[in-house]
């Protein structure tokens, strides 16, 4: 398992969004959905249209923890969902494979995200980067570590800060300012 980073640079994030959307509606929506929910890829890929259609919340049982999770769908994501699912039936997978009647695999999702990110000079990007990107930008905007800790289901604020790369940013900045 490789260590992956959040996508910190908003311009690079927009560039990645555009490139993935150009590849396919599914690929663009995968990024958009992941960075707006902070859910793990293992919880995103099995979702069907009925799980999100006309809903205010995504309700799942987390694969990793076995815990129930209820996540609010923000207005921008609601609009993206509505646009994306037009013409789809309730039992269609949101992230359907083109080759079989199942969702894409975690490996395929990684290939899509990592391969496209590399084209624009982003390294250390994987499926978990979606969740980390959500966390990084949520914290950057709100500085509310307690709420983010609850959203990500972490046991301690320090874990959350390390997870989203804030500790690394602080260390990098300190070293940049230091010299002998």
Beta bridge partners of 96: 103
CA distance 157 to 148: 9
**Which residues have a catalytic role annotated?**
40, 64, 128, 131, 154, 163
Lookup: tokens for 16: 């990645």
In order along its 180 residues, the chain shows pLDDT tens digits of: 568 999 999 999 999 999 999 999 999 999 999 999 999 999 999 999 999 999 999 999 999 989 899 999 999 999 999 999 999 999 999 999 998 889 999 999 999 999 999 999 999 999 999 999 999 999 999 999 999 999 999 999 999 998 998 877 777 888 888 888
- pTM for the predicted model, two decimal places: 0.92
CA distance 9 to 120: 12
Residues 38/151, Cβ–Cβ less than 8 Å = yes
CA distance 20 to 165: 24
**Domain 10-127, classified CATH 1.20.1600.10, yes or no:** no
Q: What b/e readout covers 60-87, taking b as 16+ CB neighbours within 10 angstroms?
A: beeeeeeeebebebeeebbebbeebbee
138 closest CA partner among 22, 36, 5, 14 = 36
Other C-beta atoms within 10 Å of 125: how many? 25
Classify the C-alpha dihedral 105-102-116-59 as positive or negative: negative
Lookup: tokens for 67: 């815990």
Residues 32/64, Cβ–Cβ less than 8 Å = no
CA distance 34 to 133: 9
The reported pLDDT for the residue numbered 177 is: 86
């Amino acid at each position: 398992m490789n260590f992956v980073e959040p996508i910190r640079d908003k311009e690079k994030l927009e560039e990645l969004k555009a490139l993935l959307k150009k590849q396919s509606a599914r690929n663009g929506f995968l990024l958009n959905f992941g960075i707006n929910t902070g859910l793990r890829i293992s919880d995103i890929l099995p979702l069907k249209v009925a799980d999100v259609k006309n809903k205010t919340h995504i309700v799942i049982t987390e694969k990793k923890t076995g815990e129930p999770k209820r996540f609010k769908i923000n207005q921008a994501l609601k609009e993206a969902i509505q646009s994306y699912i037009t013409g789809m039936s309730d039992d269609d997978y949101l992230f359907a494979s083109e080759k079989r009647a199942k969702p894409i695999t975690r490996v395929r999702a990684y290939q899509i995200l990592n391969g496209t990110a590399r084209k624009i000079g982003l390294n250390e990007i994987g499926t978990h980067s979606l969740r980390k990107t959500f966390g990084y930008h949520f914290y950057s905007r709100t500085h509310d570590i307690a709420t983010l800790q609850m959203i990500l289901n972490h046991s301690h604020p320090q874990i959350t800060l390390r997870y989203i790369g804030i500790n690394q940013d602080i260390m990098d900045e300190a070293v940049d300012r230091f010299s002998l």
